[in-house]
Amino acid sequence: MNGELYINGQDAWTTWGIGMDSSGLSALMTPAPVKEFVSNESRLEDGTQYIVTNPKVRERELTLRLCLYAPTAALFYARYDAFCKDVLATGTVNISTKYLTGVVFRCIYQSCTQYTQYRGKVAKFALKLMEPDPTDRSLTAKERRTL
């Protein structure tokens, strides 16, 4: 799990004991929707005319399912607290993975839509994120140095 998932430039596993579940990569790779095309519905012509040249993508929402692990309850609560303060409280969630080299998903945290904890050692949760500009996924020089 080391080096699999990076959040805000930090290895999520070594920093917080966090990894993605099996649907995480699919959620990240789902294509962004396009903005509505310019259209004209004239009463003088049949149907509707659309201008489909130069399509633009719009923001996208995604749900990233994560798991937090710890060998003891004390470490679990410390990791959970650190993740909430270091990542969620900032609102910025920049995600990169070893599977998609050179790509960073620049997201904004919206909410945690699901949270389940098991005996203070394992938690599964789903973060609802918004990616304002899905075309802005290149790594900055600083981000390249941290990975």
Q: pLDDT band for position 118 (50/70/90)?
A: confident
Q: What is the pTM of this model?
A: 0.84
CA 17 to CA 2: how far, in whole Å? 9
Residue pLDDT, tens place only, 64-83: 999 999 999 999 999 999 99
Neighbours of 92 (CB within 10 A): 13
Whether residue 147 has pLDDT greater than 60: no
Domains of the chain, start order: 5-32+59-146 (2.40.30)
**Which secondary-structure segment (H or E) carries 132?**
none
Mean pLDDT of 115-136: 92
